[in-house]
Amino acid sequence: MLSQLDSLKTEALAALDTLSDEAALEAFRIDYLGKKGKLTALSAGMRDVPPDLKKEVGAKLNEVREAISGGLSTRQEALQAAKDAASVVGIDLSLPGRPGAGVGTLHPLTQIRDLAVRTLRRMGFTLADGPEIETEWHCFDALNTPADHPARNESDTFYLPDGRLLRTHTSSVQIRTMETVKALPVRVIAPGAAYRRDEIDATHLSVFNQIEALYVDKDVSLADLKGTLEFFFREVFGPKTVVRFRPHFFPFTEPSFEIDVKLEAKGKEARWIEIAGCGMVDPAVFAEVSKKRGDNLFDPEQVTGFAFGMGLDRLAMILHGISDIRHLIENDVRFLQQF
């Protein structure tokens, strides 16, 4: 048996050198190492080897198996290397590249998010974060939104079987932040995804992007809110931008406003465009947060705050005159190349 194994090894290694493609190598593998292969057949002979020789024959068997499978991988690698080398024949890898060819830019949404974040950071806001899968409490209850509010409807919100939901706005990060901070002031921004069960059309997607801001301290006023937003929109749309605050309602702010900016599309008359929601944090929100925290850092008698939120997709669309929100997710280079 020992000599049989030796000659099988010699035969196999010689055969390997003549093989020149993957199919032949695979046939070789089956022929020698496969379940019905030559080596397997020989190793069945172990049964008849006398006990005092078993150790020696076993070692030989392993040696031959390793030699054949090692030879096979070496051959596979050599063939692959030859293939790689053939594929670059005639290509001079030392030539300099063509400047500018294929260099991309940031997605318009990324650009607007970065601009928004950069602008607000200059005013002392820091980044905050929260989960996209939220509890009803963080998304609605703590934000003073009653159980029968239409936004909480199954038809408007994606609920998970366990009762959690995909957050419908980034305002839940207001709560997440106030739940955990250790001291005032709180001055945070939170860009992120929000989800609504909207019919998808030119202005709606079921996943979109918002940026939220929250500022809480002992003496935050509506003037601070106005100043912050006017500065913000002038940075985004230009120094002459006019901003208007229109009374509105949100459950978690009082008073609440919608913000319009006056913009002129090229060649058209200027018009007011609704762009964000904002307001002074409703004391009921501070009360709910205080109940959860069990301390008085957010005592509604002591602190005031403002919050605002806006759609980043919408901001990008207005800024660039994009007529259909779906362009932002289709990744068509003819669209993306323009930014």
Instruction: Please give the annotated binding residues for Mg(2+), written as ranges.
Output: 254
- Of 215 and 250, CB closest to ligand PHE: 250
Within 8 A by CB and 6+ apart from 218, the residues are: 184, 302, 303, 304
CA gyration radius for the chain?
34
CA atoms within 13 A on the CB side of 215: 21
Which residue number has the CB closest to ligand PHE?
Answer: 309
Pick out residues in 53-82 that bind ligand PHE (CB under 6 A): none
Helix (H, G, I), strand (E, B) or coil at 255: strand
Q: Among 307, 315, 322, 325, which residue sits at the site for ligand PHE (rule: CB under 6 A)?
A: 307
User: What stretches of the chain show up as alpha helix (H) in DSSP?
Assistant: 2-17, 22-33, 38-43, 51-87, 108-122, 136-139, 172-180, 222-237, 283-293, 312-320, 327-330, 333-336
Kindly state whether residue 309 participates in binding ligand PHE, applying the rule CB under 6 A: yes
Q: Is 305 in the site for ligand PHE (CB under 6 A)?
A: no
- Token pair for residue 337? 């190349």
Contact call for residues 113 and 314 (beta carbons, < 8 A): no
279 near ligand PHE, judged by CB under 6 A? yes
Q: Is 49 exposed, middle or buried (0-12, 13-18, 19+ CB in 10 A)?
A: middle
Window 217-256: residues binding ligand PHE (CB under 6 A): 250, 253
Cβ closer to ligand PHE: 171 or 177? Answer: 171
Name the residue nearer to ligand PHE (CB basis): 192 or 277: 277
166 touching ligand PHE, by CB under 6 A = no
Q: Are 120 and 213 in contact (CB under 8 A)?
A: yes
Whose Cβ is closer to ligand PHE: residue 57's or residue 278's? 278
Residue from 278, 280, 312, 325 in contact with ligand PHE (CB under 6 A): 278
Span near ligand PHE by CB under 6 A; candidates 21-29, 80-88, 184-192, 272-280: 272-280
**Residues forming the annotated binding site?**
254
Task: Provide the 3-class DSSP secondary structure of residue 238.
Answer: coil
Cβ proximity to ligand PHE: between 39 and 194 the closer is 194
169 lies in the site for ligand PHE, by CB under 6 A: yes
- Interface contacts to ligand PHE, rule CB under 6 A: 169, 171, 250, 253, 277-279, 307-309
